Amino acid sequence: MTAKYKALSAVEDSTSDSEITIEVNKVVGFHYRLCEVNSEGNKGDWFEESKNKGLLYYLHGYHNVVIGLERALEGKKIGDKVEITLKPDDAYGFRDPAAVLRVPLKKLQLAKGAEKAKTGGLVRVRSEKGWRNGIILKPGKFNADVDFNHPLAGRVLHYEVEVELIRKASQQEVESGRPLGPSVED
């Protein structure tokens, strides 16, 4: 662990880094790798990882990460490594056929740089609950069929995680339900 992360991980009392555990109202920083597991139980290629992109931060107890991963990290300490395979109900849920909708093209906000709706294109649509992201399945002349399921919904996922940082959340973070970064002044 680098000195930068070690310094950030200590809580202001006399608790040593090795004694701090992940629990509610702690900000956690970790590195991870993610792959899909097929129906025979074989792991695929890693399709997402954080090693060269920086730590992923979340506020424990607020479901900032998938629930199965949050449960697996409960009680872990800095330096702990976790490998876990999650079924859809503990990850991004099952695919919902009702989340595939026909939407008028004029209601779609296309990805930056896109000139027209294309199969596989990313879009946003404003709903009464705010913005929803989707993937175009079939564009038409006036409408497009859009899948609003999470792209990883319905998949069995395997994570490898290494805990790098644990610190007490600030009052502002607790109130907002999300971390504000590696270190925060109250």
In angstroms, the CA 174 to CA 9 distance is 17
Judgement on whether residues 68 and 120 belong to the same structural domain of the protein: no
Q: Residue 113: give its domain's CATH number.
A: 2.40.10
Residues 12 and 86 in one domain: yes
Provide the residue range defining the domain that includes 104: 97-147
Please indicate, yes or no, whether residues 110 and 42 belong to a single structural domain of this protein: no
CA distance 15 to 150: 40
Q: Is the pLDDT of residue 40 over 90?
A: yes
Average of per-residue pLDDT across 36-65:
95
Q: Which residues contact 90 (CB under 8 A, 6 or more apart)?
A: 66, 67, 68, 71
- Mean pLDDT, residues 82-95: 98
Report the share of the chain in percent with pLDDT over 90: 80
Do 164 and 85 share a domain, yes or no? yes
Note the pLDDT tens digit of each residue in 89-102: 999 999 999 999 99
Confidence of residue 16 (pLDDT cuts 50, 70, 90): low
Q: Do 49 and 122 have their domain in common? A: no
pLDDT of residue 108: 94
Is residue 112 one of the residues assigned to a domain? yes
pTM passes above 0.85:
no
pLDDT at site 44? 97
Q: State the Cα–Cα distance between residues 117 and 97, nearest whole angstrom.
A: 21
Residue 17 token pair: 């880094």
- One domain for residues 54 and 142: no
Element (H, E) at 172: helix 171-176
Same domain membership, residue 23 and residue 74 = yes
Whole-angstrom Cα Rg for the chain: 20
The CA distance from 3 to 40, in Å, is 42
The structural domain count of the chain equals 2
182 lies in some domain: no
Q: In this structure, are 102 and 27 located in the same domain? A: no
Calpha distance 152→89 (Å, rounded):
11
* 125 and 159 both lie in a single domain: no
Per-residue pLDDT tens digits for 64-76 = 999 999 999 999 9
Whole-number pLDDT of residue 81: 98
Does 185 map to a domain?
no
Listing DSSP states for 9-53 in one string gives H--SSS--GGG-B--TTEEEEEEEEEEEE-TTS-EEEEEEE-TTT
Residues 86 and 104 in one domain: no
Residues 57, 11 share a domain: yes
pLDDT category of residue 18 using cuts at 50, 70 and 90? low
Q: How far apart are CA 52 and CA 129, in angstroms?
A: 34
